[in-house]
């Protein structure tokens, strides 16, 4: 059987394909020759640097200085670089503006003595604060959430005082943090589950939280696994700097206290604020502390209070406080929350949860309240010092 000869159209397509391939080969050959001839500056620079090793002075026109920095004044020849000698070992735990002996000389009203007070210029340290003996690199997250090297914070007081509450345990050369707390001895995870039954923590509604009187910050440490970033703070007290444990664990935390100075956070910065037996007198000073919480909460945010005075009727004997005192304390909190137009969403056991109003239209009734003082427009972010109610 004879083969069918190729059609004219097929032969034409073959010649076209050959022509295209030949043209591309010529183009890339010419391009390569152009680059090697010196017109391709990038390749020529690379070849020169390769030939001369690491000598970068062969191209004097290259300038590796930054071009976006501000002007820097010339340092005089007479000026010498200051060097700081190590501080004595007793300053291992020194915190700037927080000297424990000096702090005890300040008044106890409104926790003034727990606040940070910077010393006069002649009292300031001019030396390098040493690390604890044997300090090592902290464990990486997530191991750091549960373990901290003992040498990095060599204090065992909390392992004794908070032993039954599972705050912290000493095991060999490390501290272990089981996740417990005064109000959640069964663990922060189960405690957060209780809150999540009321607050939409898992769906992204709550992304940022503020923990007042955080202790060793287990609440914030366990919220991180639920994609909630927590800012924790606590004062330095007889338990040493608990915040140091938090930082060693990798949890954001600062030394601080709600006292006479407002919190250093912008308005509407947090989706949730929390106090777990933090010993803050929330109803005092015309509700100043709750008004400050209202300022930093976004509209629709949540405030959680667990521990005294919640459920005082059943616990006043265990707390060793008069029931009349606890009843008055909770009533003050309820009154301020009502003035702020917070809605109480939950109270069970020793946990109470309020939600901040979403807008001012839902809170017209407070305009007739004799205790309500509204901030002026220019004072909207200064509710702390003006003791006024901030409009959204």
Residues 196-209 as b/e (b if ≥16 CB within 10 A, e otherwise) read eebbebeeeebebb
Single out the residue of 175, 211, 176 nearest to residue 192, CA to CA. Answer: 211
Pairing of strands 351-355, 270-276: unpaired
Mean pLDDT of the chain, nearest integer: 82
Q: Is the pLDDT of residue 361 over 70?
A: no
What tens digit of pLDDT does each residue of 78-122 get? 567 778 899 998 888 888 888 888 888 999 888 898 898 999 888
DSSP symbol at 356: -
What mean pLDDT comes out for the span 287-315?
A: 94
What mean pLDDT comes out for the span 249-258?
A: 92
Single out the residue of 320, 337, 334, 340 nearest to residue 388, CA to CA. Answer: 340
Where are the domain boundaries for CATH 3.40.50.150 in the chain?
Answer: 184-360+371-386
Q: Is the pLDDT of residue 40 over 50?
A: no
What mean pLDDT comes out for the span 150-162?
A: 87
As a whole number of angstroms, the distance between CA 99 and CA 103 comes to 6
What does the block give as tokens for 38?
């010196």
Q: Is the pLDDT of residue 239 over 50?
A: yes
Q: Is the pLDDT of residue 124 over 80?
A: yes
Determine the CATH number of domain 184-360+371-386.
Answer: 3.40.50.150
What does the block give as tokens for 238?
């007889």
What tens digit of pLDDT does each residue of 205-215 get? 999 999 999 98
Cα atoms in the 13 Å half-sphere on the side-chain side of 301 = 23
């Amino acid at each position: 059987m004879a083969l069918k000869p190729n059609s004219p159209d097929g032969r034409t397509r073959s010649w076209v394909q050959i022509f295209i391939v030949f043209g591309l080969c010529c183009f890339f050959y010419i391009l390569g020759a152009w680059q090697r001839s010196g017109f391709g500056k990038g390749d020529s620079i690379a070849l020169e640097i390769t030939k001369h090793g690491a000598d970068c002075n062969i191209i004097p026109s290259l300038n590796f200085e930054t071009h976006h920095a501000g002007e820097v004044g010339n340092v005089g020849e007479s000026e010498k670089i200051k060097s700081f000698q190590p501080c004595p070992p007793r300053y291992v735990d020194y915190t700037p503006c927080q000297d424990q002996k000096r702090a005890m000389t300040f008044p106890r009203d409104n926790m003034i003595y727990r606040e940070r007070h910077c010393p006069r210029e002649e009292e300031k340290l001019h030396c390098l604060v040493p690390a604890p003996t044997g300090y090592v690199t902290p464990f990486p997250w997530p191991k750091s959430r549960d373990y901290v090297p003992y040498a990095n914070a060599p204090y065992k007081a909390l392992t004794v005082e908070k032993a039954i509450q599972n705050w912290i345990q000493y095991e060999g050369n490390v501290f272990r943090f089981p996740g417990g707390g005064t109000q959640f001895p069964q663990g922060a995870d189960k405690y957060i589950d209780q809150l999540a039954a009321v607050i939409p923590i898992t769906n992204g509604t709550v992304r940022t939280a503020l923990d007042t009187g955080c202790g060793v910050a287990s609440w914030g440490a366990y919220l991180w696994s639920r994609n909630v970033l927590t800012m924790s703070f606590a004062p330095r007290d007889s338990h040493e700097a608990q915040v140091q444990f938090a930082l060693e664990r990798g949890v954001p935390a600062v030394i601080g206290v709600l006292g006479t100075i407002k919190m250093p956070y912008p308005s509407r910065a947090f989706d949730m604020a929390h106090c777990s037996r933090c010993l803050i007198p929330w109803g005092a000073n015309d509700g100043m502390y709750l008004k400050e919480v209202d300022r930093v909460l976004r509209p629709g945010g949540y405030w959680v209070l667990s521990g005294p005075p919640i459920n005082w009727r059943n616990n006043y004997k265990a707390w060793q406080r008069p029931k009349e005192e606890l009843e008055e304390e909770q009533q003050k909190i309820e009154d301020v929350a009502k003035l702020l137009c917070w809605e109480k969403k939950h109270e069970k056991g020793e946990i109470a949860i309020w939600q901040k109003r979403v807008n001012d239209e839902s809170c017209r009734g407070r305009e007739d309240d004799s205790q309500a003082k509204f901030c002026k427009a220019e004072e909207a972010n200064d509710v702390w010092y003006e003791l006024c109610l901030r409009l959204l």
